[in-house]
Amino acid sequence: MPSTHPLAGAVSHDAPVLVIGLGRFGAATAGQLERQHREVLVVDTDAGLVQKWSDRVTHAVQADATDMDALRQIGAQDFAIAVVGVGSDLESSVLITANLVDLGIPQIWAKAVSRSHGVILSRIGANHVVYPEREAGERTAHLVSGRMLDFIQFDDDFAVVKMFPPAAVRGKDLATTVIRTRFGLTVLGIKTPGQAFVPATPESVIGEEDVIIVSGATADLERFAALE
For the segment 32-64, what is each residue's pLDDT rounded down to a tens digit?
999 999 999 999 999 999 999 999 999 999 999
Choosing from 107, 130, 153, the residue where a domain stops is: 130
Helix (H) or strand (E) holding 215: strand 211-216
Q: Has residue 158 been placed in a domain?
A: yes
What's at 123, amino acid-wise? R
pLDDT of residue 3: 37
- CA trace torsion 170, 171, 176, 179 (10° rounding): 10
Q: Has residue 66 been placed in a domain?
A: yes
Structurally, the chain folds into a number of domains equal to 2
pLDDT in tens, 108-132: 999 999 999 999 999 999 999 999 8
Helix extents (H) in the chain: 24-35, 47-53, 68-73, 90-102, 115-124, 132-143, 218-225
Nearest to 2 by CA among 155, 216, 215: 155
Between CA 160 and CA 65 the distance in angstroms is: 37
Chain-centroid distance of CA 204 in Å reads 31
CATH of the domain at 177: 3.30.70.1450
Give the global pTM: 0.72
Choosing from 88, 103, 130, the residue where a domain stops is: 130
pLDDT of residue 96: 97
Nearest to 59 by CA among 68, 69, 51: 51
Strands 186-191 and 211-216: antiparallel
Residues 115 and 32 occupy one common structural domain: yes
pLDDT of residue 8: 45
Q: Has residue 9 been placed in a domain?
A: no
